[in-house]
Amino acid sequence: MAAMRPIKSLYLLGFTPFFFGSACRVTSPLIHRDAQQQCFPYSSSTSPENFGFRIAASFSAKGHKFNPKTDLFSFKPSSQSQAETADASPKGRPDSGQDAFFVSNIGNSMNVAFGVADGVGGWSDSGIDSADFSHGLCERMADIARKASAQSKWELIKRGNFKARDLLQKAYNAIVEAKEIRGGGSTACIAVGNCNGALQVANLGDSGFVQLRPNAVYFASKPQTHAFNTPYQLSILPPKMLARSVAFGNKPLSDQPKDASVTDHTVKHGDVLVFATDGVWDNLSPTDVMKLVSRYMIGFNGWADGKDGMVVSDELDVLTTEGGIGKERENTLQSLLAVAIAGEAKAASENTKLDGPFAREVQKYYPGEDWHGGKVDDICVVVAVVVKDDVIVET
């Protein structure tokens, strides 16, 4: 959950995990390609190898006990954006505060769009729940990706022009034009993953992601902030609030999707992608997450010792297929990783003695503030394990 200054009256940003309409039951992960689902090259410069993104998410609302059996979602591509809503809140969302997430195939291809959004908690001072904004944004991104099989958009997928920032822009436009949400704000960190190994990420605000390889942080995104603890954010300003701000000479924060930082990446077999809200990053550093992921990847033999160091195990495909891990709920490696990261972040957020990344930043910028321990917040994490596929790419 991100926040606005001063420390004692922070504008907190929180995300509720979301998979097009919210989800909190486990469904089967990516297994094999449907005969009608196709893989389109993202660009001519990417590898001829084909990859699958095995995706799961986990989450926990601020002030609620973390339950790994229910606070977990595992993505099944064949269902695209179908949501599982058992144990959801009355609004049909996971009971996870203001954090949101989505995962969807892009049209009828095996390319995927996924990410997190973090509703700005400070809007509650004006009687507005930003969970409506963050969930609504994710809902629309999943819907746009899912419906991309329409003829005009299908050609975009073939040419590799389905871009992350465009997806964010279209979803934001849709939520503004619908006029169903009277106000609120959210950060967002989203990705478009192509099964030929291209990954494009659009990050606006202080959520973020890391790309991990055996025992290494290969890439870590940087937060976008206007000032300490004041992240970039998309928003809808009610007319009265806007007029009041102008009358008092204030300029309300209202960033646009075009302000998002866009980065392009190439994934490899065995990569682990971790997208999370600041409920994770305020309590765990990228190195903390890498060490935690390594512990599980090595422990379950997803990564293994080789002649020249750590390598990807031949067992990875099985481990990331439903039932690959001998557990009732977290029965894939990606779901186990998502639950482990969410659980570790939850524990760190409630630890009053061990200073986390947020506490160290407070001490740096506000040495007079007596802030120690973790930062209690909504928590959401989406984990994608990249697995080499043997499907032929259509050109």
pLDDT tens by residue, 193-219:
999 999 999 999 999 999 999 989 999
Q: What whole-number distance in Å separates Cα of residue 114 and Cα of residue 256?
A: 19
| pLDDT at position 78 | 61
SS (H, E, C) 262-291: EEEEECCCCCEEEEECHHHHCCCCHHHHHH
pLDDT band at 110 (very low <50, low <70, confident <90, very high): confident
- Closest Cα partner for 290 from 364, 340, 222, 353? 340
> What's the pTM value of the predicted model, to 2 decimals?
0.85
Are 137 and 252 in contact by the 8 Å Cβ rule? The answer is no
DSSP code of 316? H
Amino acid letter, residue 162: F
Q: What whole-number distance in Å separates Cα of residue 140 and Cα of residue 197?
A: 25
234, two tokens? 């998309």
pLDDT above 70 covers what percent of the chain?
Answer: 75
Mean pLDDT of the chain: 81
Output phi, psi for 237, to 5 deg.
-105, 120
Q: What whole-number distance in Å separates Cα of residue 187 and Cα of residue 279?
A: 12
Residues 6+ apart with CB under 8 A from 272: 211, 212, 213, 293, 297, 337, 383, 384, 385, 386
Number of H helices, E strands in the chain: 9, 17
Q: What whole-number distance in Å separates Cα of residue 358 and Cα of residue 373?
A: 9
Q: Has residue 19 got a pLDDT over 50?
A: no
- Closest Cα partner for 57 from 111, 138, 146, 172? 138
Q: What whole-number distance in Å separates Cα of residue 358 and Cα of residue 376?
A: 10
DSSP alpha helices (H): ranges in 237-355?
239-247, 278-281, 286-299, 316-319, 333-349
Are 189 and 275 in contact by the 8 Å Cβ rule? The answer is yes
- The CA distances from residue 43 to 47, 112, 198, in Å, are 9, 16, 8
The SS3 of residue 99 is strand
| pLDDT at position 14 | 29
* Interval 254-290: pLDDT, tens: 799 999 999 999 999 999 999 999 999 999 999 999 9
* Interval 148-197: pLDDT, tens: 864 444 455 454 568 999 999 999 999 999 988 888 899 999 999 999 99
Q: What whole-number distance in Å separates Cα of residue 380 and Cα of residue 339?
A: 10
Q: Has residue 106 got a pLDDT over 70?
A: yes
Least-confidence region, from 64-78, 134-148, 151-165: 151-165
The SS3 of residue 310 is strand
- Closest Cα partner for 285 from 224, 344, 197? 344
Question: What is the β-pairing status of strands 272-276 and 208-213?
Answer: antiparallel
The average pLDDT across 246-260 equals 76
Q: What whole-number distance in Å separates Cα of residue 92 and Cα of residue 88?
A: 5
The average pLDDT across 60-87 equals 75
Q: What whole-number distance in Å separates Cα of residue 296 and Cα of residue 230?
A: 34
Please give the residue that has the higher pLDDT: either 359 or 78.
359
| pLDDT at position 39 | 61
Distance from the first to the final alpha carbon of the chain: 43
Q: Has residue 326 got a pLDDT over 60?
A: yes
Are 119 and 185 in contact by the 8 Å Cβ rule? The answer is yes
